[in-house]
């Protein structure tokens, strides 16, 4: 049944992929390019990320017998319309459920990865019907875990990002403008995105105009 | 950039067998003992000419990895292309269709495409005129003036038909001047005008073959960016013809293809022995001739060109991708017009 044919019922909301929250938090346009333009550049960082994901047995927890580690666990939250896959979820003997997200790079406190892993925690809460107030990010660069507290402020960030992504997907198909700052240097979408070109529209406008002007002296003598 | 390499494998020895062996490509040449292998990850595309066998495993693997496979006829005519799980980019394609239906927008793009082509044709003539003997220089300069006038007229063109007309006249002026800047070996019959289907002299045969190489490059660039290669602005809708690929080829023809061919002849890389004269008058490249041209093309693609708008040097082989992206950004309403690449 399509959404439109339902009457009076709650219209089904577009599902938001967990990974999109991270992209959106990094740069809204990056998220737009990935979701709206199917463009996903497999740059070195993501390739390394994939390799890393293939062996995410978190160091330090193996063989203790008290922790069960689940890999590539599908998770979701019907209320918020979130869905995705957790790299690793640890089920501890005391009942604690701990999502651990693996990142090949450095950990940036308060950054996009926090939002992503907090969203995972919220999905796990929904599925296991118990509070999940702690999550972890394992950084490949320094090879250690960074604990993230899933507090109210972070939850609000998750929900705001979820709404923004849903808006991008369902109503507003225009791409968010480029941030055109230092983020672009580490961004795998930069070749598709062309932040500099878009930022310098005046120059571009001029070049469009100049297309029909010829400067012969320059052409011949340079 | 790991996604943008320039390693295309061109296979044209008839009867060659290509198979997948784990992560490598195994090449069996007929009548040649032993086999060659290539790590698949070093290849970003495979182009085969004529009767070449590819195993199903190899084809599906290429589809999976989004490594395009292009089939050309033995003589270099484009036949088909496989691009794996398509980057459908439906919003971009939708925008492409909408712009196509908008007469003003369509005219704007078509006009700029042609302006790019004429500017680049003119650039070739002026470059050649610089170091030509006086008599030849006059011919080249005269044609360059005609092209300047064409650009002027173009800026006021109010319909696609007018744009097409200006383009046709400019092409005639340009090709009429080309023989004057071409120094073929004396044992070659002269190049007098552009002809095709089939070409009847060596220069035209080489041009046709090279346009095939360029077309596959441009077609691939459009696919990569997610544009529909069959919906053109200048060439409109032409059943069975990749009109947008033909559109985007225009600005690249003079510099990437014509100049490439001129260079091969001027340097005597292409010689009379590289051509077959068929009864009836058609002329085609021999297998050796094609080999020569493909080898030179591979190198040509790595040569970098200044891209004034991207603000960096871009290898010839990637210029079509950069331009396809600029077109995509314009179609999505992010850039105020399509700006072709012009040589400088
Ligand atoms: S290149 Fe910059 S603006 Fe574009 S998506 Fe990446 S971070 Fe955002």
Indicate the range of A39-48, A158-167, B30-39 predicted with least confidence: A39-48
Query: pLDDT value at position B340?
Result: 96
Q: Ligand 1 in contact with A195 (CB < 6 A)?
A: yes
Whether residue A88 contacts residue A71, with contact meaning beta carbons closer than 8 Å, is answered with yes
Q: Choose, out of A174, A194, A196, the residue to mutate when testing the contact with B (most B CBs < 10 Å).
A: A194
Look at residues B75, B82, B97, B114 and name the one whose alpha carbon lies nearest to residue B230: B97
CA distances in angstroms from B198 to B77, B202, B242, listed in the order given: 11, 11, 20
Residue A9 has pLDDT above 50, yes or no: no
| B292 annotated as belonging to a binding site for a ligand | no
A209 exposure class (CB count in 10 Å sphere: 0-12, 13-18, 19+):
exposed
Phi then psi for B185, rounded to 5 degrees? -60, 155
Whether residue B248 contacts residue B320, with contact meaning beta carbons closer than 8 Å, is answered with yes
The Cα B263–Cα B271 span in angstroms is 12
Chain A nearest C-alpha distance from B325 (Å): 7
Neighbours of A45 (CB within 10 A): 15
Q: How confident is the model at residue A12 (pLDDT cuts 50, 70, 90)?
A: low
Query: pLDDT value at position A138?
Result: 93
**pTM for the whole structure:** 0.79
The position carrying tokens 């790595």 is B302
B258 exposure class (CB count in 10 Å sphere: 0-12, 13-18, 19+):
buried
Contacts of B309 (CB under 8 A, 6+ apart): A197, A203, A204, A207, B326, B339, B341
Indicate the range of A148-157, B176-185, B239-248, B281-290 predicted with least confidence: B176-185
Q: How confident is the model at residue A59 (pLDDT cuts 50, 70, 90)?
A: very low
CA of A29 to the centre of ligand 1 (A): 6
Query: pLDDT value at position B3?
Result: 44
Query: pLDDT value at position A172?
Result: 66
* Mean pLDDT, chain A, whole residue set: 80
Chain A nearest C-alpha distance from B46 (Å): 20
Q: Ligand 1 in contact with A190 (CB < 6 A)?
A: yes
Structure tokens at A14: 């577009």
Residue B313 has pLDDT above 70, yes or no: yes
The answer to whether A212 contacts B155, with C-beta atoms less than 8 Å apart, is yes
Tell the residue nearest (CA) to atom 2 of ligand 1.
Answer: A184
Q: Please indicate if any CB of chain B lies within 8 Å of the CB of A205.
A: yes
pLDDT, tens digit, 9 for 90 and up, residues A121-174:
999 999 999 999 999 999 988 899 999 999 999 999 999 999 999 988 887 688
Output the CA torsion sign for B217, B200, B136, B174: negative
Neighbours of B231 (CB within 10 A): 20
Query: pLDDT value at position A190?
Result: 81
Angle, helices B259-266/B202-225, rounded to nearest 10 degrees: 140
CA of B74 to the centre of ligand 1 (A): 43
Which residues pair with residue A69 across a beta bridge? A90
The best mutation among A20, A24, A27 to test binding of ligand 1, ranked by most ligand atoms within 8 Å of the C-beta, falls on: A27
């Amino acid at each position: 049944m399509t959404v439109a044919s339902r009457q009076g019922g709650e219209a089904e909301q577009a599902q938001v992929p967990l990974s999109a929250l991270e992209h959106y938090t990094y740069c809204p346009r990056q998220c737009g390019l990935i979701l709206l333009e199917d463009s996903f550049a497999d740059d070195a960082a993501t390739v390394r990320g994939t390799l890393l994901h293939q062996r995410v047995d978190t160091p330090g927890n193996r063989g203790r017998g008290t922790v069960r580690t689940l890999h590539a666990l599908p998770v979701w939250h019907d209320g918020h319309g979130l869905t995705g896959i957790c790299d690793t979820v640890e089920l501890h003997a005391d009942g604690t459920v701990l999502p651990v997200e693996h990142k090949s790079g450095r950990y940036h406190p308060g950054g996009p990865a926090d939002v992503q892993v907090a969203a995972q925690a919220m999905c796990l809460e929904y599925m296991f019907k118990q509070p999940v107030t702690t999550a972890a990010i394992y950084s490949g660069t320094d090879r250690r875990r960074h604990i993230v507290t899933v507090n109210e402020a972070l939850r609000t960030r998750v929900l705001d990002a979820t709404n923004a992504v849903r808006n991008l997907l369902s109503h507003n198909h225009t791409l968010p403008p480029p941030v055109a700052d230092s983020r672009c240097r580490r961004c795998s979408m930069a070749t598709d995105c062309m932040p500099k070109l878009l930022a310098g529209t005046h120059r571009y406008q001029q070049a469009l105009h100049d297309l029909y002007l010829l400067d012969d002296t320059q052409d011949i003598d340079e | 950039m790991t996604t943008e390499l320039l390693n295309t494998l061109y296979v044209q020895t008839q009867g060659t067998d290509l198979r997948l062996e784990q992560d490598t490509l195994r090449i069996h040449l007929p009548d040649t003992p032993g086999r060659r292998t290539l790590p698949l990850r070093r290849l970003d595309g495979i182009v085969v000419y004529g009767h070449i066998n590819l195993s199903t495993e190899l084809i599906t693997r290429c589809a999976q990895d989004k490594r395009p496979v292009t089939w050309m006829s033995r003589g270099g005519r484009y036949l088909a292309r496989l691009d794996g799980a398509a980057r459908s980019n439906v919003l971009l394609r939708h925008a492409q269709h909408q712009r196509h239906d908008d007469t003003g927008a369509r005219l704007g793009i078509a006009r700029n495409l042609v302006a790019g082509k004429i500017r680049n044709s003119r650039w070739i003539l002026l470059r050649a005129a610089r170091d030509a003997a006086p008599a030849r220089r006059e011919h080249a300069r005269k044609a360059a003036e005609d092209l300047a006038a064409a650009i002027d007229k173009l800026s006021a063109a109010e319909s696609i038909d007018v744009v097409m007309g200006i383009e046709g006249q400019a092409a005639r002026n340009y090709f009429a001047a080309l023989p004057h800047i071409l120094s073929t070996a004396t044992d070659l019959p002269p190049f007098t005008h552009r002809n095709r289907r089939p070409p009847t002299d060596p220069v035209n045969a080489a041009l046709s073959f090279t346009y095939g190489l360029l077309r596959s490059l441009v077609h691939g660039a459009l696919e990569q960016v997610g544009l529909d290669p069959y919906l053109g602005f200048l060439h409109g809708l032409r059943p069975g013809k990749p009109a947008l690929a033909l559109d985007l080829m225009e600005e690249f023809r003079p510099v990437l293809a014509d100049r490439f061919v001129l260079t091969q002849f001027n340097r005597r890389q292409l010689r009379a022995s590289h051509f077959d004269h068929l009864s009836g008058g058609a002329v085609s490249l021999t297998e050796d001739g094609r080999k020569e041209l493909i080898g030179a093309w591979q190198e040509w693609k790595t040569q970098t060109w200044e891209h004034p708008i991207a603000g960096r040097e871009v290898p010839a082989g990637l210029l079509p991708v950069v331009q396809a992206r600029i077109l995509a950004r314009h179609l999505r309403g992010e850039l105020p017009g399509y700006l072709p690449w012009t040589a400088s």
